[in-house]
Chains A and B, each alone.
Chain A
């Protein structure tokens, strides 16, 4: 390297590449760091839990140690009737999302509210906690924040799960894992565009809608429709069950794969699912040898199919 041009060249290279990295990494990072989270962003991260991909607590992506989303109308502490509330239940040992581990990512005002009014600093993931999203008025501006209901109201995770009915319990955190593991996002985006998609797929997301989420799984290629607001377009669980088991049952021209294997061995009634028999009967139906397709089994409460359907229905 004793050649003068190369000394100058390597320095120039460092300058050019360093400037490029400064503009494309440092400046956006500083800009996005100050974004205040929206209530949508809080609901998202509380329902998904800490991470939606590979993690220590769930290395094989089976949906372990993930929160449940419940709709309750009874106070788990006192048993009295309350306004319908969405609560996020983190049983003991479930890692908290980033907004609680590092409240700085919430942006200044939501962080201050979550810490002072919401008592998120008192949450302890070895004991579990229940979180709800609340809003506070700050000089005319509505600020969403996280409330640690275990600390403020005495809602314990088990008690909260027990006051919620089965149909009002959604395993969204586990469902997000299924969404990522099964590669749903290779064909369905989670990002309506800021153009014509308004009319068809609903409003595109805003700047603060993703704080605390990892991975965001926007997707880049649409082989099927965008799913950001799919739960608002179609909230029929019966349709979802048939569609995931075999999409051609409800949409003959669909190119979506069958996800029947997510049903596991037994259905909700504990009956063993005979996949071979089902497929044979379905083939007869396709060949016009049967009038009706075979009955689709209802997924068990702890099945992966149930969690995935919960996740999709919860995309409002």
Chain B
């Protein structure tokens, strides 16, 4: 890849940037989940690796979160955008060279930001922990070049209309830049007090709502029709999904601070808007599941569809939880407990990761023109992710309910810690399964690149039979 950084744009093989992003994202996924597993071990066994500042929980927790969000998820998104956007416009990526540089700087900038965080150089704000000079580098060095490439590819398309996936890609790359800029303004401009607290959660909410959720959904809008051969069930429901994301998902940020002394109108407004998140959620899930009609056999037989539809199905509990857990009636019970941790992993490790994994599986095969090396390893990866995630989610949900009960019945805190111990072990086991599954995935994709069966011109990866 590095030899193309200084090549002429025309000389760079199409898809190079996406391939670079794809393998980078898998590597960051391994780093992120490895850190997660290590952190979980510390919560189960507090004296596991002790007394070293750099390996203490408080120094590593945020590195895990941001390695997964900005490394795995966002780089997989960039990968998906760099091959799906041109494919849907019947054109080439606007600038393959910009894409390669984008990926190179992304890896570099993220490494710098995360190493600084690891040393404790933090802004002290959850999700926007990265210090503001690096935030500026992320906005102008990572997100803006990605956005320019996507927007220009859409502009130079050779089709008349723009397909659903590309509305989401074009809008989300724009919105994430706004979200990063506004969300980090407490650091840029020294905003303080409740304004700072509110903007911290405004960022945390919108980076999920306007970046991760819509882009992950957009991937499934591409993969499911492409692989099953069914047209999208309804363009109009897609419209409903898109517009309700913009209108409803961008507004409930204050529901993360229901117990803080924010203005009451703001909390009530956020809570109502939070329930309305069900509008885009139901539109999305029903549209995709109806697109599957007549092709449900592929949910079992085709690994890309298996990942995609699992992600879509996990959006159901995700949004049912998300829509209602933020209302005052429920929030007082589960706020600040492991329930929320479970919910966050349902969003990022459940719903979105399965969709990104599908994009990377399908995209790397398409771009490398090689059939997946091993179906068995891919299935193994799938089940390690799903069982590992389910173990994590169920154990943390139970732990959260225990904490919630302890909170309202005024149980001494240490008794809650003792009661949670078995679930902390289960969470560590689940997280470790995800990590091991990802190591197998990297091996499988590496072998695909080296030894996968060549896909003849004019054929799609899923049309070929597996040889192993």
Chain A residues close to B by CB (< 8 Å): 1, 3, 6, 12-13, 16-17, 19-21, 23-25, 27-29, 31-33, 35, 41, 45, 50-54, 59-61, 98, 105, 180-187, 189, 191-197, 199-200, 204-207, 209-225, 247-248, 251, 253-261, 275, 279
Contacts and interface: CB of A to CB of B under 8 A. Distances in A.
Contacts of B47: 248, 258
Contacts of A200: 407, 410
Given A41-B193, A253-B418, A215 B123 contact: yes
Given A193-B332, A193-B336, A194-B259, 4 more contacts: A17-B175, A17-B250, A24-B251, A207-B194
A211 B196 CA distance: 10
Nearest to B48: A257
A35 B194 contact: yes
Task: Give the most central of A192, A211, A219, A223: most B CB within 10 Å.
Answer: A223
B62 interface: yes
A180 B192 contact: no
A225 B155 contact: no
Contacts of A251: 414
Contacts of B171: 13
Contacts of B200: 215-216
B464 interface: no
A199 B122 contact: no
A32 B336 contact: no
Contact of A257 (B46, B161, B198, B243): B46
Interface residues of B, number: 79
Contacts of A260: 51
B348 to A, nearest CB: 15
A96 B81 CA distance: 46
Given A24-B202, A29-B195, A207-B261, A254 B251 contact: no
Contact of B196 (A184, A192, A213, A256): A213
14 contacts: A1-B155, A17-B175, A23-B251, A24-B202, A25-B202, A28-B198, A28-B263, A50-B190, A51-B190, A53-B131, A54-B123, A61-B120, A98-B192, A221-B337
Contacts of B62: 183, 186
Chain B at the A interface: mostly helix, strand, loop or mixed? helix
Nearest to A33: B195
Given A105-B192, A191-B259, A260-B51, A60 B119 contact: yes
A53 B125 contact: yes
A212 B57 contact: no
A314 B296 CA distance: 61
A258 B341 CA distance: 23
Given A204-B261, A213-B193, A254 B340 contact: no
B52 interface: yes
B190 A220 contact: no
Interface in B51-75: 51-53, 56-59, 61-62
A55 B202 CA distance: 22
B193 A196 contact: no
Contact of A220 (B57, B121, B263, B340): B340
A2 to B, nearest CB: 9
A254 B196 contact: no
Contacts of B162: 6
A28 B410 contact: no
Contacts of B283: none
A89 B187 CA distance: 25
A210 B193 contact: yes
Given A20-B251, A41-B193, A261-B51, A181 B332 contact: no
For A50, A257, A260, which residue has the most chain B Cβ atoms within 10 angstroms?
A: A257
B132 interface: yes
B174 to A, nearest CB: 9
B58 A221 contact: no
A34 to B, nearest CB: 11
Contacts of B123: 53-54, 215
A254 B269 CA distance: 39
Interface string B152-179: 0001000011100000000100010010
Contacts of B58: 181-184, 186, 257
Given A25-B182, A194-B259, A257-B58, A32 B247 contact: no
B341 A221 contact: yes
Nearest to A19: B247
B431 to A, nearest CB: 15
A20 B250 contact: yes
A54 B121 contact: yes
Contacts of B122: 53-54, 61, 180-181
Contacts of A248: 46-47
B186 A253 contact: no
A51 to B, nearest CB: 7
Contacts of A1: 155
B124 A185 contact: yes
Contact of B46 (A16, A25, A195, A254): A254
Contacts of B451: none
Contacts of B257: 218
Contact of B253 (A24, A45, A210): A24
A214 B46 contact: no
A59 B155 CA distance: 43
Given A193-B335, A260-B51, A211 B192 contact: yes
Contact of A16 (B155, B243, B424): B243
B246 interface: yes
A61 B121 CA distance: 6
A3 B175 CA distance: 22
B98 interface: no
B243 A215 contact: no
Contacts of A13: 171, 246
B42 interface: yes
B250 A182 contact: no
Given A210-B192, A216-B197, A220-B340, A180 B124 contact: yes
A205 B194 CA distance: 11
A211 B193 contact: yes
Nearest to B332: A195
Contacts of A205: 260-261
Contacts of A199: 410
A218 B332 CA distance: 16
Contacts of B265: 31
A197 B335 CA distance: 11
Interface string B107-139: 000000000000111111110000110000000
B254 interface: yes
Contacts of B186: 214-215
Contacts of B50: 257-258
B157 to A, nearest CB: 10
Contacts of A206: 261
Given A20-B250, A223-B43, A212 B192 contact: yes
